[in-house]
Amino acid sequence: MDAGRPCTVTEALDAYAADLKARGGHPANAAHLSPTLASKTCRYCIDLARACSGWGDSLATKIKSATVNRLFKGLKAALNLAATHDTSVG
């Protein structure tokens, strides 16, 4: 991630996957999202999540709740890791 500009979700997920691998975790635990969301900045995703707090509940009606949890856990961990490197996140 480049400290001079806001990171994208893709960059945050890639960094999280590398962090998992370095700590002996499984890099596949990093969430895989649609290209539309992946190209957005982490700040955008945090703002979107706050504005759409019921989004996860609506997803659970379309896919298994375990899948929703797995996606959100990976995304949350990636955004938290990005926040340690990008002061615009948080």
Contacts of 13 by beta carbon, 8 Å cutoff, 6+ apart? 30, 31, 32, 33, 38, 74, 75, 78
Token reading at 8:
């994208």
Here the tokens at position 75 are 């995304």
Express each pLDDT in 16-69 by its tens digit: 888 888 989 887 777 666 666 777 777 777 776 666 667 667 777 888 878 877
pTM confidence score: 0.55
- Cα–Cα distance, 84 to 77 (Å, whole number): 11
Q: What is the pLDDT of residue 32?
A: 65
